[in-house]
Structure 1
Amino acid sequence: MCGICGVVGLRHATPIVFEGLRRLEYRGYDSAGIATLVEGRVERRRAAGKLDNLGALLDKEPLAGTTGIGHTRWATHGAPTTCNAHPHGTERVAIVHNGIIENFEELRRELEAAGQVFSTETDSETIAQLVDYHLAQGLTPKDAALAALRRLEGAYAIAMIFAGHEGLMIGACHSAPLAVGYGDNEMFLGSDSLALAPLTRRITYMEDGDCVVITPQGAAFMTFDGTAVQRKEQTTALAAGTIGKDGYRHFMEKELHEHPLVIGQTLQRMVDPASRRVVLPDLPFDLATVPRAVITACGSAFYAGMVGRYWLESIAQLPVDIDVASEMRYRNPPLTAGSLGLLISQSGETADTLAALRSLRQKAVHILSVLNVEHSTMARESDVVLGTVAGPEISVASTKAFTAQLTVLACLSIATARARGTLDALAEEELVAALLDLPSRAADVFAQGDAIRRMAAIVAEARDVLYLGRGSMFPVAMEGALKLKEISYIHAEAYAAGEMKHGPISLIDRTVPIVASAPYTPLFDKTLSNLQEAKARGGRLLVFTDTKGAERVSAIAEDMVVLPHVHEFAAPILQTIPVQMLAYEVAVLKGTDVDQPRNLAKSVTVE
């Protein structure tokens, strides 16, 4: 969440920074701003709301200068107003900040007592005032920045520019991502490589506790005590043209249509098509001897983990615990040394999941992360990473990354079962064949667009919606309910279908649509029985099934989406696509901001 982009060089900074912020919109934000040095003075332009508001302000009040920083803010301390928007600053310094300064109240009291005058409600302004205080004592920009950094507690990525110091920018990070980009007589700083993709593919990812002094000629890295350190320059695979909508109405619609490609690309990385065997990278531990696994993640990634647990336990007979990351590290579960910590994150920067990783590390467990960004902080701190090959996901609501995560977890489950001797070669070939069939079956789902839009018209009129599923379809139902809440703002809840009569059945009437994921698997008859109970109480049944299930459910369903029949092992991946499509079409009918729903951020980098 939040976004930083900065540049020092010879070109006009504002359009470069503004375009970087545009590429960071997917992270979620509620205000934006840019600061540059104009004839040595710090000048700022800030606006509440969307980046277009800042653009309109810049059209009226242009901002010159070749040294600049910009920010998209997701409010934590202080309302999302122009006053609280970044950059924050004084006559001597301007800063932008992602994260939370935990000791800001103590610092603010101390600084106000020393005569510093605050103008916002934010924790971030404390950084600017602290640096300004040290500058007023005669310290150089570098020494003032380092002195301030040594006082800060919390998670942060920071960029700073200084009055009278053209061509100088200082960055720092602790438990929040920051990347340095290299150009020709110009340098860049960004929250992630996507912000810098149009500018450079030469990137250095900063490490926790790093400070960097940037000039147009290069970057010097150091620790907060000023000790020089070396950091590796890498070449990112991202290209400038990777975030266009390509004719789709929204990024989410585009990313929904990328499901078949993403599933296929992920399988290409993990499956040998000749032998029809899953091939994992070399692991620094033996899957056969892992006594237990614990899965942790947040949001949609947690639901992917729930499906992964189902597969690992049923196919590999591996005991698995699962917890949302924000709860797991505080629960402090007992773990046997040598167990497997399995973490799932699209960004690899999710604050709670990263904190859970570090707590697991202290318990001497193996760390395997399923990530879409393989140069992320979680990637650097894991023993092994299984990449999801989903490409940049711009819409805040995760879609293609979710099916890619499921695909990786399916392959990992097969490999674990093989290592533990619970899956013979013939059975492995059957499961792999089911996965290899998925890209073409996923493409078939989009032929059901009209049926999904019919369902959407019913759901869009509701205040409350129930989602039902059994077995591995229960997490799919949870994913469907989450997507509907996220982007249409309709209240939705998911239940294991067998639990409906233990309470939720009292909610059923003609005003509450019931969305069921019910492919023809061994649990189909049980699910059908639950749906008949709902129908008997006036429930309006909207069912995602397959060609075999449709023959049985058509008599009670108000509407159906009939998908291709696939092996039950692959069914959760296929069934995910239409429930996400339903949420999208409902949101379009409701007229909400599909790609950037209110109050949400793409990558939650604060706890």
Structure 2
Amino acid sequence: MCGIVGGIAADDVVPVILEGLRRLEYRGYDSAGLAFVDAQGELQRRRSVGRVAELAALQTKEEFRATIGIGHTRWATHGGIAEHNAHPLISHDEIAVVHNGIIENYQNLRSRLQSLGYRFTSETDTEVIAHLVHWYRQQLPTLLAAVQAASRELQGAYAFAVLSRRDPQELILHRKGCPLLLGIAAQGHFFASDVAALLPVTRRVIYLEDGDFARLQQNASSLQDVEGVLVQREEHWSQLSSAAIDLGPYRHFMQKEIYEQPRAVADTLEAALDGDFSIDQLWGKGAAERLQEIDRVLLLASGTSHYASLVGRQWIESIAGIPAAAELGHEYRYRESIPDPRQLIVTLSQSGETLDTYEALRHAQTLGHLHTLSICNVAESAIPRASALRFLTRAGPEIGVASTKAFTTQLVALYLLALSLGVLRGRVDATALHTHREALRQLPGSLQQALNLEPQIQLWANRFADKEHALFLGRGLHYPIALEGALKLKEISYIHAEAYPAGELKHGPLALVDRQMPVVVIAANDQLFEKVAANMQEVHARGGQLYVFTDLDSHYEGGEGVHVIRLPRHAGLLSPVLHAIPVQLLAYHAALVKGTDVDRPRNLAKAVTVE
């Protein structure tokens, strides 16, 4: 969940590291630090609790410079938020390490290193890496050899970079399960956990494979695989634009990303709506043949992506007629499951590096599941690379911790998967496919109409600011949207919110309803509307305050204690995509009223690369 960046160059790398950390701040943000070798050959470190701006202020004050350095922005896992736990971690003023991920056996390693005389100054798992590398560097001829030896003792998923005072002309990197990439610039070589950090200096990047070691020098770089064999990895030219990760005229990245959804959805749908509906073009070479071999689907994801999969499960069953299930990745890999060689395993992840989802995919593969498909927003990330088929959602970079446009683009990707499976099984003929595609063409425009409801939603948010709890209700396809709405409100406004299928209301949650408990209802004008209306009456009869998102054609009227906002006309099976917009806006404006940090909510980070 942390961000790492660094490099070695002919010129001063400190500004590059600080700017890279600023761009990575969304990944982790309770402390920041950097280490470098100064002109006198001494290892120096600067750390601060809080934002990268405080670290940058130190640089402005001291004006330190260096041609080699590593930096880190932290999201606390082991050890509290304190300067002594901030990275980089140092051993004997010689070895400095920045690290993303988890060292699972750090307690045993810590005890052994203490018995060897090493003194620990932090509660972090990272410090064992620094001391282990230092121990092996005393015995082995090169820093690379020391890192390779140390890595053989580490258990977990991680990526780290090592800087050594004894070896001031090189940096050593290692990746196992967490993202890491190299940047090749005219004046040097750089690394980061996210390409956005390197855009100010280069677009030439190389993504490390799992198990890779890299040795960076000013004018050269080399890679070895987990066995120590020299390897070449494909070089990429990043298409990510700096403008895409700039805030522009918006107050927050979350607001910007909410408003980018019509374009993100249109871009994601482009390949499906232009020309023929080519299944191989959508999902990858050989997709049509492979997808014809499956007779059930399992969707694996976490968090917001899991809620998208709950909608996708219903689409796959109703459109394609294929049994489907949705499961949390971190639960799936730790239970006894029954392998089915004809089951399609679908993984969803915004970053493509979500560790529990990635490990669930790997677990499925060890059980013999060969039919795997990823839906992801980052092309060169771990999950798509490990999957037989893949679909790239074209949401663009998502900086705000609370996912918005990644969610809606995942939804439309799942809709396309349901259509593809329906076509292959003969459930969706040419006429039906045309109807579905026309509905998809209308979707970006309808999303824009939903965004136009923001002023009304803003008024609602003012009434939520002093509440401590809220209920969200939905049924059928819209129950997952209620779950997503409750999650968004919790994430960024810190108002406790829970979501239930509306039919469950009388089975317990109704006991919570009073005038102080706002009840948000996703009441789309579908076949379940009358059932939901009856559930709303139960709330109203007990004095509950109803906040109802319905459709233009539902004719549901508001009144005392019943507040209604109408979206565009009911969008049929695509209705959940539209109803995601108002619950996002409600959470955003409630957080604004409460004055919380919208883009960086407490205790959370964007890229969940620890389990």
Q: TM-score range by the shorter chain?
A: over 0.9
TM alignment of 1:248-287, pairs within 5 A: 248-272=250-274, 280-281=282-283, 282-284=285-287, 285-287=289-291
After superposition, give the CA deviation of every residue in 1:50-85 in whole Å (9 maximum; x if it has no partner). 212222222333332110100011111111110000
Q: Secondary structure at the match of 1:242?
A: helix
Matched, 1:4 2:27: no
TM alignment of 1:443-458, pairs within 5 A: 443-458=448-463
Matched, 1:34 2:34: yes
Other-structure match for 1:384? 389
CA distance in structure 2 between the partners assigned to 1:424 and 1:533 by the alignment: 42
Other-structure match for 1:605? 609
TM alignment of 1:151-170, pairs within 5 A: 151-170=153-172
Quote how far apart the aligned CAs of 1:594 are: 0.2
Q: Residue 316 of structure 1 contacts residue 420 of structure 1 at CA under 8 Å; is this kept in 2?
A: yes
Matched, 1:100 2:102: yes
Q: Residue 544 of structure 1 contacts residue 562 of structure 1 at CA under 8 Å; is this kept in 2?
A: yes
After superposition, give the CA deviation of every residue in 1:552-581 in whole Å (9 maximum; x if it has no partner). 233476322211114211100010011101
Q: Secondary structure at the match of 2:591?
A: helix
CA distance in structure 2 between the partners assigned to 1:407 and 1:226 by the alignment: 42
Other-structure match for 2:521? 516
Q: Structure 1 residues 555, 419: CA separation in 2 closer, same or farther (over 3 Å shift)?
A: farther
Q: Structure 1 residues 307, 216: CA separation in 2 closer, same or farther (over 3 Å shift)?
A: same
CA distance in structure 2 between the partners assigned to 1:81 and 1:53 by the alignment: 14
CA distance in structure 2 between the partners assigned to 1:537 and 1:421 by the alignment: 49
Letter aligned with residue 192 of structure 2? G
Other-structure match for 1:66? 67
Other-structure match for 1:579? 583
Matched, 1:23 2:26: no
Quote how far apart the aligned CAs of 1:210 are: 0.8
Letter aligned with residue 98 of structure 1? N
Q: 1:360 aligns with which of 364, 371, 378?
A: 364
Matched, 1:538 2:543: yes
Matched, 1:589 2:589: no
Quote how far apart the aligned CAs of 1:507 are: 0.7
Other-structure match for 1:81? 82
Letter aligned with residue 69 of structure 2? G
CA distance in structure 2 between the partners assigned to 1:342 and 1:63 by the alignment: 49
Deviates more, 1:566-575 or 1:218-227: 218-227
TM-score (norm 1): 0.97
Quote how far apart the aligned CAs of 1:223 are: 3.0
Q: Residue 543 of structure 2 contacts residue 561 of structure 2 at CA under 8 Å; is this kept in 1?
A: no
TM alignment of 1:181-192, pairs within 5 A: 181-192=183-194
Other-structure match for 2:346? 342
CA distance in structure 1 between the partners assigned to 2:530 and 2:292 by the alignment: 35
Letter aligned with residue 33 of structure 2? G
CA distance in structure 2 between the partners assigned to 1:557 and 1:337 by the alignment: 53
Q: Residue 182 of structure 1 contacts residue 188 of structure 1 at CA under 8 Å; is this kept in 2?
A: yes
CA distance in structure 2 between the partners assigned to 1:97 and 1:430 by the alignment: 50
Matched, 1:415 2:420: yes
CA distance in structure 2 between the partners assigned to 1:289 and 1:580 by the alignment: 38
Deviates more, 1:147-156 or 1:290-299: 147-156
Q: Residue 160 of structure 2 contacts residue 173 of structure 2 at CA under 8 Å; is this kept in 1?
A: yes
CA distance in structure 1 between the partners assigned to 2:146 and 2:247 by the alignment: 43
Quote how far apart the aligned CAs of 1:389 are: 0.1
Q: Residue 196 of structure 2 contacts residue 245 of structure 2 at CA under 8 Å; is this kept in 1?
A: no
Other-structure match for 1:45? 46
Q: Secondary structure at the match of 1:352?
A: helix
CA distance in structure 2 between the partners assigned to 1:283 and 1:30 by the alignment: 45
CA distance in structure 1 between the partners assigned to 2:541 and 2:65 by the alignment: 69
Q: 1:440 aligns with which of 427, 440, 445?
A: 445
Q: Structure 1 residues 556, 438: CA separation in 2 closer, same or farther (over 3 Å shift)?
A: farther
Letter aligned with residue 533 of structure 2? L
Q: 1:371 aligns with which of 368, 371, 376?
A: 376
Q: Structure 1 residues 277, 426: CA separation in 2 closer, same or farther (over 3 Å shift)?
A: farther
Letter aligned with residue 450 of structure 1? P
Q: Residue 434 of structure 1 contacts residue 566 of structure 1 at CA under 8 Å; is this kept in 2?
A: no
Letter aligned with residue 46 of structure 1? R
Q: Secondary structure at the match of 1:12?
A: coil
CA distance in structure 2 between the partners assigned to 1:606 and 1:592 by the alignment: 25
Quote how far apart the aligned CAs of 1:310 are: 0.8
Q: 1:145 aligns with which of 140, 144, 147?
A: 147
Other-structure match for 1:304? 308
CA distance in structure 1 between the partners assigned to 2:386 and 2:226 by the alignment: 21
Other-structure match for 2:196? 194
Quote how far apart the aligned CAs of 1:277 are: 7.9
CA distance in structure 2 between the partners assigned to 1:306 and 1:553 by the alignment: 30
Quote how far apart the aligned CAs of 1:165 are: 2.9
Q: Residue 101 of structure 1 contacts residue 156 of structure 1 at CA under 8 Å; is this kept in 2?
A: yes
Q: 1:293 aligns with which of 290, 297, 300?
A: 297
Quote how far apart the aligned CAs of 1:176 are: 1.0
After superposition, give the CA deviation of every residue in 1:268-300 in whole Å (9 maximum; x if it has no partner). 12223x567876243444333311111110000
CA distance in structure 1 between the partners assigned to 2:563 and 2:201 by the alignment: 49
Q: Residue 476 of structure 2 contacts residue 528 of structure 2 at CA under 8 Å; is this kept in 1?
A: yes
Q: Secondary structure at the match of 2:244?
A: coil
CA distance in structure 2 between the partners assigned to 1:553 and 1:221 by the alignment: 65
Other-structure match for 1:427? 432
Deviates more, 1:373-382 or 1:131-140: 131-140
Q: Structure 1 residues 276, 368: CA separation in 2 closer, same or farther (over 3 Å shift)?
A: closer
TM-score (norm 2): 0.96
Q: Residue 189 of structure 2 contacts residue 220 of structure 2 at CA under 8 Å; is this kept in 1?
A: yes
Quote how far apart the aligned CAs of 1:338 are: 2.3
Q: Structure 1 residues 105, 319: CA separation in 2 closer, same or farther (over 3 Å shift)?
A: same
CA distance in structure 2 between the partners assigned to 1:306 and 1:225 by the alignment: 40
Q: Secondary structure at the match of 1:147?
A: helix
Q: Residue 11 of structure 2 contacts residue 187 of structure 2 at CA under 8 Å; is this kept in 1?
A: no
Quote how far apart the aligned CAs of 1:231 are: 1.5
CA distance in structure 2 between the partners assigned to 1:590 and 1:289 by the alignment: 52
Q: Residue 27 of structure 2 contacts residue 607 of structure 2 at CA under 8 Å; is this kept in 1?
A: yes
Matched, 1:404 2:403: no
Runs (5+) with no aligned partner, structure 2: none
Letter aligned with residue 509 of structure 2? P
Letter aligned with residue 243 of structure 2? G
CA distance in structure 1 between the partners assigned to 2:357 and 2:124 by the alignment: 25
Q: Residue 303 of structure 1 contacts residue 475 of structure 1 at CA under 8 Å; is this kept in 2?
A: yes
Q: Secondary structure at the match of 1:64?
A: coil
Q: What is the aligned-residue identity percentage?
A: 44
Q: Residue 301 of structure 1 contacts residue 344 of structure 1 at CA under 8 Å; is this kept in 2?
A: yes
Letter aligned with residue 488 of structure 2? K
Runs (5+) with no aligned partner, structure 1: none
Letter aligned with residue 31 of structure 1? S
Letter aligned with residue 24 of structure 1? L
Other-structure match for 1:223? 225
Considering only aligned residues, what root-mean-square deviation do their CA atoms show, in Å?
1.5
CA distance in structure 2 between the partners assigned to 1:167 and 1:516 by the alignment: 61
